[in-house]
Amino acid sequence: MPLTQATMPANTHPIAARPYKRGYTTPTQLRTSIADAHRTKLWLTTVTAVADCLSVAGLALAATWAVQALPIAAAVILCVLSAVVIGRQLRALECLVHEASHFNWSRSHRRVNDILASLLAGLPTGAKIENYRASHLLHHGRFGTADDPDLARYRQLNVEGLRRTSIRSFAWDLLIRLPRYQLGWVQTIKSSPLVYAAPFVWCTAIITVPAFFAFGSQGAIEGSAIWLAAYLFALPVIRFIGEASEHVYSTTRTVFDATISNLGFLQRHLIHPHNDGYHTIHHMWPGVPHHQLRRLHKQLMIADENYAKRLRRRTRIIQQAEVVL
């Protein structure tokens, strides 16, 4: 019988009295490499964020052109694909908000870290860096306890109950949870009305106005509608799939064992942008910036047998989290 919101079990994940132990010892021979991996590159992360922003505008304007220039069937297909990719790019910007919460844009210039991240990543996605940081650092510092906001979301939505036996069952279970998930996410980031409104102002500036001058009033409406579909539908789905794939609380008692790395092609390129799929590395060393995660993962897989044997991972979205053999 399919799960519904009425029958979906809740509170199925135990709450620890104390935060989970790390559960992993840093290999001695890699300590220098791991220390080097903590070096931030403000210029690189800034360029990455700018590229994400420009790609959103470019995709929306290209899809607007397609609506006016191509046959209706081709235009519809291109618009749907554009909305999905724009949703992915917005998720990439949310991942850079996450990076900023750990001062991974710039650790030595923290005010610059917050200002640039707010303008280039927080404003387009409706996130306030300070609020996100306060919530997210509880996830790291109070992992597995009642203070862990991710555990609260897993319990409320029975995230581990998502059926990964087929695409159909997974999509259905995701769909029935999505409204409650999105409401809980909005409550978690606790932004002000002005911050919530910021993405719409941002869309007006980089999509609506350019589309108006390029394609007229009809084009402005069409370009804005494509962005709106991406922001309201594609982005929450991509985010939910990503967040629902990161942990297994119910059968574990250490952070290492409770964290999943999502390493498949679709996961790395669509669901977990900017190396967000290397989640085990992130929880072991939250100060390692996005541009160093994959390299460090590869080093550990080669140099540390304990890491390679115990790592939980998925290479497909509907796959159960498996230990690497």
pLDDT tens digits for 247-280? 999 999 999 999 999 999 999 999 999 999 999 9
- pLDDT of 291 > 90? The answer is yes
Residue 8 pLDDT level (bands cut at 50, 70, 90): very low
The pLDDT, as a whole number, for residue 12 is 59
Please give the tally of structural domains in the chain.
Answer: 1
Q: What is the overall mean pLDDT for the chain?
A: 92
Euclidean distance between CA atoms 189 and 129, whole angstroms: 9
Whether the CA torsion 221, 223, 226, 230 is positive or negative: it is negative
Q: How does pLDDT run across 164-199, given as a tens digit for each residue?
A: 999 999 999 999 999 999 887 777 666 677 888 999
Tell whether 18 is covered by a domain.
Answer: no
On the 0-12 / 13-18 / 19+ scale of CB atoms within 10 A, 18 is exposed
Q: Are 217 and 209 in contact (CB under 8 A)?
A: no
**What residues make up the domain containing 84?**
28-323
- For residue 32, give the amino acid letter: T
Tell whether 19 is covered by a domain.
Answer: no
Euclidean distance between CA atoms 62 and 141, whole angstroms: 44
Tell whether 126 is covered by a domain.
Answer: yes
Tell whether 14 is covered by a domain.
Answer: no
Q: Out of 38-42, 53-57, 92-96, 179-183, pick the least confident.
A: 179-183
